[in-house]
Amino acid sequence: MRAASQILTESFLEVRAKLLEVAATLDRIDRSGEAGESLPPEAQEQREQIDAAIEIVLSQGADRAERLQKLFSRQYESDWRQQMDL
């Protein structure tokens, strides 16, 4: 297993770039909202999911990726094949 400092050193620039991309996207959304464009209900739900994801990222624990995956995943339905016409 690699040391935490090694993982951080190797990943820092990539993580920084991804965080900047997220922040820039949120800035664009907010600026559009300030210009009088409100989000339709489906887009508002997506924004709320993003906000919940940010809370997960800021939380403690070694299971953040799992919690994010569950947040963005559909609930399991036993008839999913029929629903997807498969």
Residue type, 64: R
Report domain extents, the chain.
1-38, 40-74
Per-residue pLDDT 10s for the chain (86 aa) are 899 999 999 999 999 999 999 999 999 999 987 777 788 999 999 999 999 999 999 999 999 999 999 999 988 888 888 888 88
Its pTM surpasses 0.85:
no
Residue type, 30: D
> Which tokens go with 10?
């190797």
Q: Are 56 and 68 in contact, with CB atoms under 8 Å apart?
A: yes
